[in-house]
Structure 1
Amino acid sequence: MRITVIGCGYLGAVHAACMAELGHEVLGIDVDAAKIELLSAGRAPFYEPGLPELLTSASATGRLSFTTDISRAAGYDAHFIAVGTPQKKGEHAADLTYVDAAVTSLAPHLAPGSVVIGKSTVPVGTARRLAGIIAGVQPEAALAWNPEFLREGFAVQDTLRPDRLVYGLPDGDAADHAKTTLDEIYTVALGNDTPLVVTGYETAELVKVSANAFLATKISFINAIAEIADVTGADVTKIADAIGYDARIGRKFLNAGLGFGGGCLPKDIRAFQARAGELGADQALTFLREVDQINMRRRVRAVDLTRELLDGSLLGKKVAVLGLAFKPESDDVRDSPSLDVASQLRAQGARVVAFDPQAVENARRLHPELDFAESAADAARDADAVVILTEWREFRDLDPAEFGQIVADKRILDGRNCLDPDTWRAAGWRYRALGRP
């Protein structure tokens, strides 16, 4: 099929490249000329494993191209909306400025029978409103909602081999045409027996935010247990292992530590609460306030533990921060707990030297006051304490004996519970972690 992808940020760039890889002719459209120039040259504007290779191979086939000119969307069969929905400044609600602008700009170029497909995470009720905008300009075009479930670091894999597909279809006769279009786009996934849920707009919108709310709740649950473990001497990792054997619970997302961040979970659970309030159902989601608060408390706890490691004072102490991205295999520092902790440590008097395999430049733009190193060893040289805040493999694989030779004092905070305490203690390190004795 001939497909456009409106918005070539994290979601859109990955989706465009993957659709071309699956054999479709794809045009990526974005207002950011610098981003389009990078993508046209086969270079990703952010770090995502596998994406540069996909951009190169897809561009070489002639099936993938990029532009800033939305009028070139005319004549294409399907149009994915993949723009951002950030949190409004000073509010919890989602900012739909980019979604509205994308649909409004695209509508005059829609042909009869074309299908607009929403990928962006939006408050429930948005799709029905956007369908009205489209109908007012091109009554013979249809809107479907097809939420994404990408994991940063695995986005290419998740797009090419999704674990489920959700179609939010319009009412009436347009539903059949929209479904047929989506089925053709996802022929490969459907041929691999990918589970498919077909529903209406509102359910499709709620599927995405419900999934993120549940994952955030699961993470905050185990971090709440970690708070109890801290005051009782229990080991939260053993608790997670034990309850994770229960098939009703499962072990995934029960990793206690610094908590969640990034461009999805924090803003999505806040926007979900805000929308529930607008609908008069705010009491249904009051628990998400505590989920958010538990998550934010982890950052304060990490700073407090680092201070304890340094005998009660951060003033003038050199602290090596390993990890700045909100998760490994990403350079994303949006609402990153790691970067937040690094900034708080410096604000409270520590001399922070930070390193991340991919996120240094993004972190430097947000916090130029921090000092940055070119490797973990450079950051840790003569450090009074080391704090691991993002669980990159190269940090998990550090040799504690070898690493201990370059620091001023063998003190380490394992902010992600990703190290073996016995191994580090045997090498002479004073080891602390969140929720472990």
Structure 2
Amino acid sequence: AIESAAAFADLHFVCVGTPQRHGEYAADLTYVDAAFDALYACVQPGAVVVGKSTVPVGTAARLAGQLRDAGAELVWNPEFLREGFAVADTLRPDRIVIGAANDAAGSVLELAYAPILATGIPLVRTDFATAELVKVSANAFLATKISFINAMAEICEVAGGDVTKLAEAIGHDERIGHKFLRAGLGFGGGCLPKDIRAFMARAGELGVDQAVSFLKNIDEINQRRRARMVDLAREMCEGSLAGRRVGVLGAAFKPDSDDIRDSPALDVALAIQRAGSAVRVYDPQAMTNAKDAYPTLAYVPSALEACHDADVVLHLTEWAEFRTLGPADLAPVVHELNILDGRNVLDPDEWRAAGWQFRALGRP
């Protein structure tokens, strides 16, 4: 119980989710406020409470005042965990950020991190507002990089360029790097999309309208890639998806995960179904979650069954299982030799040489 934890501990970590508020872009702080309210009622004087949630700037200052009334101090220490790498990212983070209004409270947390800091991990000591902004700014930057290369893909599609070669070339510049430069369906999941929108909402509340416009463009580019995939599928089906059979490879928002939150693959599958197609979906790990969230789609137990009698196959999540499927594997089961690569990981020359019509985002 929280009462026994409060009586026992001198250092408390609050690590609760901040989902997107229903029907809005803003973050829902219900879980954060509930956790702090419960702790406030029983925390011991002199204790230090560490907030790790991704929150709108200004939240920590409000919560700190509440805790001070109970004789406790707040420190903000944003987490930078990648899904699927939580333990590694906790033990070997790229940096540790400690935001505090009270230096002594910040030093308590620094002492707790001493074994990790001793390995040479950078430490940034700062104020509440900066610590809060570090997390959302990091996510916004990653989203910006993804949307930038997807904007370049849009230009390549019109100009006849190849965005994969473009990304390879600019990524050799050490100031840019290759990470997050793979054009395709864009980002999804439970962090980047909702954090960008919450950042947008908070920037709007603060009156920083130009920043809002910038963040909005990032989100809009990301959404346009999903619509473009549907358009390409329609083009491959001679202008109409009505009555077509479509095989969808992938449901999770990224490979090696069962997370389907804001999944580009499932958004595309649903849009194609609504356009009149019969859609079959397969994913190695995300089937249960996909069925719960998108019950109207048809799900099958293998990639080959998803592609059975398909007029077009859509490769939407870059699982290793799908990357190893070649033209000869799928040709015997499909109705038409049409494939769309939404993740730019398949070899177009291999598929075209085998007689397939091959299309991808940002490639000729």
Using the size of structure 1 for normalisation, the TM-score is 0.81
Partner Cα distance (2:320, 2:300) in 1: 18
Give ranges in structure 1 of 5+ residues lacking alignment: 1-68
Q: Partner of 1:195 in structure 2? A: 122
After TM superposition, give the deviation of residue 153 of structure 1 in Å: 2.5
Residue aligning to 1:352:
279
Q: Which residue of 2 aligns with 1:152?
A: 83
Q: CA deviation at 1:436?
A: 0.3
Point out where structure 2 has 5 or more consecutive residues left out of the alignment.
none
Tell me, in whole angstroms, the C-alpha distance in 1 between the residues paired with 2:293 and 2:309.
Answer: 26
Q: For the structure 1 residues 82 and 414, does the alpha-carbon distance in structure 2 shift closer, same or farther, using more than 3 Å as the test?
A: same
Question: Which aligned segments of 4 or more residues in structure 1 are displaced greater than 3 angstroms?
Answer: none
Tell me whether 302-311 or 149-158 shows the greater mean CA deviation.
149-158
Offset, 1:253: 0.8
Q: Which residue of structure 2 lines up, in the alignment, with residue 287 of structure 1?
A: 214
Query: Is residue 70 of structure 1 aligned with residue 2 of structure 2?
Result: yes
Return the offset for 1:250.
Answer: 1.3
Q: CA deviation at 1:391?
A: 0.8
Q: 1:115 aligns with which of 33, 39, 48?
A: 48
Q: Does 1:167 align with 2:98?
A: yes
Q: Which amino acid aligns with 1:158?
A: D
Conserved 8 A contact 1:146-1:166: yes
Summarize the Cα distance change of 1:404–1:185 in structure 2 as closer, same or farther, 3 Å threshold.
farther
Written as runs of structure 1 = structure 2, the 5 A alignment for 1:395-414 is: 395-414=322-341
User: Could you tell me how far apart the structure 2 residues matched to 1:315 and 1:281 are?
Assistant: 44
Structure 1 residues 218-260: Cα deviation after superposition (integer angstroms, max 9, x where no partner)? 1111111111111111100101111111111111111110011
Whether contact under 8 Å (2:2, 2:38) holds in the other structure is: yes
Q: Is residue 2:37 matched to residue 1:104?
A: yes
Distance 1:215 1:394 in 2: 26
Shift of 1:112: 2.6
Deviation at 1:268, TM superposition (A): 1.1
Amino acid at match of 1:157: A
Name the SS for the 1:162 alignment partner.
Answer: coil
Give how far 1:287 is off: 0.9
What's the CA shift string for 1:52-76, capped at 9, x where partnerless?
Answer: xxxxxxxxxxxxxxxxx32232212
Instruction: Give 1:284 deviation, angstroms.
Output: 2.9
Give the 5 Å matches for 1:254-403: 254-403=181-330
Aligned partners of 2:309 and 2:233: how far apart in 1?
Answer: 16
1:91 aligns with 2:14: no
Find the aligned partners of 2:15 and 2:303 in 1 and give their Cα distance. Answer: 36
Question: For the structure 1 residues 316 and 397, does the alpha-carbon distance in structure 2 shift closer, same or farther, using more than 3 Å as the test?
Answer: same
Give the residue type in structure 2 aligned to 1:176: A
Decide whether the 8 Å contact of 1:153 with 1:328 is kept in 2: no
Residue 109 of structure 1 aligns to a residue whose secondary structure is: coil
The separation in 2 between residues aligned to 1:397 and 1:183, in whole angstroms, is: 46
Verify the 8 A CA contact 1:273 1:282 in the aligned structure 2. no
2:104 corresponds to 1:176: yes
Q: CA deviation at 1:154?
A: 2.2
For the structure 1 residues 280 and 373, does the alpha-carbon distance in structure 2 shift closer, same or farther, using more than 3 Å as the test? same
3-state SS, counterpart of residue 179 of structure 2: coil
Alignment of 1:429 onto 2:344? no
Give yes or no for contact 1:152–1:329 (8 Å, CA) kept in 2: no
CA RMSD of aligned residues (A): 1.4
Corresponding residue pairs, total: 363
Distance 2:112 2:241 in 1: 56
Render the CA deviation track for 1:22-51: whole Å, top value 9, x for unaligned: xxxxxxxxxxxxxxxxxxxxxxxxxxxxxx
8 Å contact kept, 2:74–2:105: no
2: CA distance between counterparts of 1:392 and 1:153? 15
In the other structure, the counterpart of 1:127 is 60
Q: In 1, distance between residues paired with 2:294 and 2:105?
A: 49
Deviation of 1:271 after TM superposition, in Å, equals 1.2
Which whole-Å CA distance do the structure 2 matches of 1:409 and 1:313 have between them? 15
| Distance in structure 2 (CA, Å) of the matches to 1:257 and 1:80 | 37
Distance in 2, matches of 1:86 and 1:177, equals 28
| Cα drift, residue 361 of structure 1 | 1.1
Q: Give distance in 1, aligned partners of 2:42 and 2:279.
A: 52
How far did 1:183 drift? 2.7
The one-letter code sitting in structure 1 at the alignment partner of 2:181 is L
The alpha-carbon deviation at position 280 of structure 1 amounts to 2.1
Amino acid at match of 1:381: H
- Distance in 1 of aligned mates of 2:88 and 2:357: 39
* 2-structure distance, mates of 1:400, 1:81: 50
Supply the distance in 2 between the matched residues of 1:326 and 1:236 (Cα, whole angstroms): 21
CA contact (8 A) 1:326 1:337 kept: yes
Residues 75 and 105 in structure 2, CA contact (< 8 A), matched pair in contact too:
no
Residues 99 and 106, structure 2, Cα contact 8 Å, conserved in 1? no
Identity rate of aligned residues, in percent?
63
Give, as a single letter, the amino acid of the residue that structure 1 aligns with 2:227: V
Shift of 1:356: 1.0
Q: Which residue of 2 aligns with 1:229?
A: 156
Amino acid across the alignment from 1:291: I
SS in 2 for 1:156: helix
Q: CA, structure 1 residues 88+113, in 2 after alignment: closer, same or farther (shift >3 Å)? A: same
